[in-house]
Structure 1
């Protein structure tokens, strides 16, 4: 493929304006230099902690960890650590970084808990850097405080890399699938357009393409193969995510999971599941339907747990996604609705 380097831009920590969700709650924006971790079931956070999916910022892969520590004076505390996962791809590297850790207040942005820090992440430093005994656990878990809402906590880090070493390992590339190159050896014809790909690369990622290219099929002996019922734009978007030149987004995630499932690209299916579990822009009812349709069991469990009060299930039933759910899942939701109704009636009668 034709490849051209795309210089990595350093990002500042400035933020676009905050937005409000339909229910009036605060929805903080996610900038390119911000990694957000939606901590599911924070009551289960352990000393070892829970870790977010990776996000590339300024050419480095980052994760956030949420954990608890016992402070002699404050007792059980909630902590957050930022980690640079560069060791997976480079033996010699460092980055001097300024970052702002934040516990998001989901009802009032003015009450976000913030701390700005500087640290030199490198191949000689182990673990992450952050705030082990930051806030009393009881405070962040108190719904009245606004941090714990809908069974989740939200933590963020806004990252600026001031200087670094090891950029040769992190160059971003633009790949041109419209033209042949020395490493393309197959043409896929999609919507009358030609897409130049590597058979070896696609076969390594997909059992579908492995069979198509290397089994004893008529197509395996051809230099041009037509893919039917595929949109060119969606397929090239899938290739860019597969080649790590683009990221999943709330705009492309559904078309990509559809193709990844069809062509049996398990790495992308797993990435989509992690992305949806930590993404707030995708509506809960849409997450539930995608998890149900594509058998994403971890996401499905998390999505079902979201419906823990009657009005959420009522909203789901009125949504366009509900008729698309499987009977098995609607039965689970119906039983949950009945249980919640009985619990509410018992509370009203003073017998709970």
Structure 2
């Protein structure tokens, strides 16, 4: 792996809800402790019960914070970003060989494979995010915003941010993320190092498949409005989209009802084409575009598209159980969540589905997983 240079500037995190963040950290520590305990054959029922009671109190506090935030939220609805979290606990870090790369397993999010990579470079710990392009494409790119964070004991934390446009399989980040001795003395916990990377895909190309249906200029006669997505024009019918989506009903039959062109920001044109195909009855959903379609369906409150995405995940998708549960929680897919919970039959499966980012674990799911742990015991 290359040793790239970084020319960006440090961005300091802004913590607008310190109380909630502290509670979330406490919950994360408790979940980690429970997960470790579940692997021990001698786990006692009363130990889990005590944890459940303790976490219940913390959940109650978070619920109160969420209610307070919701009452103050008066902002306009925005398109959700294509973002995801990579998180891994690296072991035996102090014995890393200089110059050798250590990486976690590749994860697929929004049809992009990625992972965290660590190296010991001289007297520093290097930390990168690696992005892999599609195997059958010679030209591709993924523009990203990357936030890497390492938390240590005693509330020690180190964070760095960068932007990078990936065009080849490579790792990009920070060759001098931490001084090696500082990392050993202040960030290791029992020889383990927890690294988290928040990745936002700003735009991408070279990952799309052939479109089933076109919405370009050739369909102009059958349209009455043009939607512009990242300079690409889609010719559609107002009332048809309005019937499929409460968002488009308010947009196209409301304030923008007289405009011949309406611009949509913050979304991928390929994802939007697949989304329109689903709305028009095409069998467009597959393993590669399901996340992009579901993101837009959820953003635009297109219930038919959401239902079709959930049916695909229930009956056809081969995605791992953990990934399905993450999507079920993120997009409130209750049937999918219930099926995932039914498929958890062992402690190993239970441990594997706990999200790496505690923010992906909603309050109800937290209780469901703990009840499942008690049932398995």
Normalising by the residue count of structure 1, what TM-score does the alignment of the two structures yield?
A: 0.43
Name whichever structure is richer in helix by fraction.
2
Name whichever structure is richer in strand by fraction.
1
